[in-house]
Amino acid sequence: MPTAVSLFSGCGGSDAGVIAAGFDVIMANDILPYARDVYLANFPTTDYRLEDVSEITTFPDAELLVGCYPCQGFSQGGAREANRKINTLYLEFARALSEIQPKAFIAENVSGLRRSTYRHLLEDQLKRFADAGDHGYDVYWQQLNAHEYGVAQERKRLVIVGIRKDIGAPFAFPVATHGPSADQPYFSIREALEGLPEWPAGEFCEDPFHWYYLSRNRRRAWEEISKTVVSHMRHMPLHPCSPPLRRIHTDKWEFETDAPARRFSYREAARLQGFLPRYTTHGEDIVFPETVSGGKKDFEYNMMRHRYKVIGNAVPPPMFEAVANALPDIWG
**DSSP calls for 71-130:** -GGG-TTS---TT-GGGGTHHHHHHHHHHH--SEEEEEEEGGGGSTTTHHHHHHHHHHHH
**307 falls within a domain:** no
| CA geometry: angle 302, 285, 188, nearest 5 deg | 100
Q: Confirm whether 30 is domain-assigned.
A: yes
- Active-site entry in 68, 71, 205, 241: 71
Parent domain of 111? 3-181+314-326
Structural domain contains residue 260:
no
| DSSP 3-state of 191 | helix
267, part of any domain = no
- Confirm whether 296 is domain-assigned: no
Measured distance CA(97)–CA(64) in Å, rounded = 9
Q: How many residues belong to the chain?
A: 332
Whichever domain contains 88, its CATH number is 3.40.50.150
The total number of structural domains in the chain stands at 1
Residue 71, pLDDT score: 59
Give the pLDDT of residue 86: 55
pTM: 0.93
- Residue 102, amino acid: P
Does 109 map to a domain?
Answer: yes
**Catalytic residue flag (residue 241):** no
Is 308 a member of any domain? no
Query: In the prediction, which pLDDT does 142 show?
Result: 96
Q: Is position 239 within any domain?
A: no
User: What number of CA atoms fall less than 13 Å from residue 23's CA on the CB side?
Assistant: 33
pLDDT at 230: 95
Walk along the chain (332 residues) and give the pLDDT tens digit of each residue.
999 999 999 999 999 999 999 999 999 999 999 999 999 999 999 999 999 999 999 999 999 999 998 755 444 444 444 445 556 789 999 999 999 999 999 999 887 766 666 788 889 999 999 999 999 999 999 999 999 999 999 999 999 999 999 999 999 999 999 999 999 999 999 999 999 999 999 999 999 999 999 999 999 999 999 999 999 999 999 999 999 999 999 999 999 999 999 999 999 999 999 999 999 999 999 999 988 876 666 677 789 999 999 999 999 999 999 999 999 999 98
